[in-house]
Amino acid sequence: MIGFLKKLLGGGPKVDLGQLIENGAVILDVRTSGEYAGGHIKGSINIPVQALGSQMSKLKKDKPIITCCASGMRSGSARSMLQSAGFTEVYNAGSWFNLKKFEK
């Protein structure tokens, strides 16, 4: 069960999110627009997870994508959705607060 949860939430080998961001990764915040308006990572894209299916065309498959939300559940779901749609470099950062330290 723990392995399943790690896979669902994007756990696995550690990835240097700071390096990915420095190299141009897209930060995809999948919280609601109201949550996003209350605070977010500068330069991030907001596509609520419930709208992701119809708005994936806004994202490029050849760029790494880092998903985030409030706790990691929605960003984990978004990661799975993107991978199912053929996006290969997708990372779940969990809470958007985890990315604050990389903000410029």
69 is catalytic: yes
Domain count within the chain: 1
Q: What's the pTM value of the predicted model, to 2 decimals?
A: 0.86
Q: Which domain holds residue 30?
A: 2-102
Write the CATH number for 94. Answer: 3.40.250.10
Catalytic residue selected from 52, 69, 78, 82: 69
Tens digit of pLDDT for each residue in 17-62? 999 999 999 999 999 999 999 999 999 999 999 999 999 999 999 9
Other C-beta atoms lying within 10 Å of the C-beta of residue 81 = 17
Non-local CB neighbours of 97 within 8 Å, separated by 6+ positions: none
Cβ atoms 94, 75 nearer than 8 A: yes
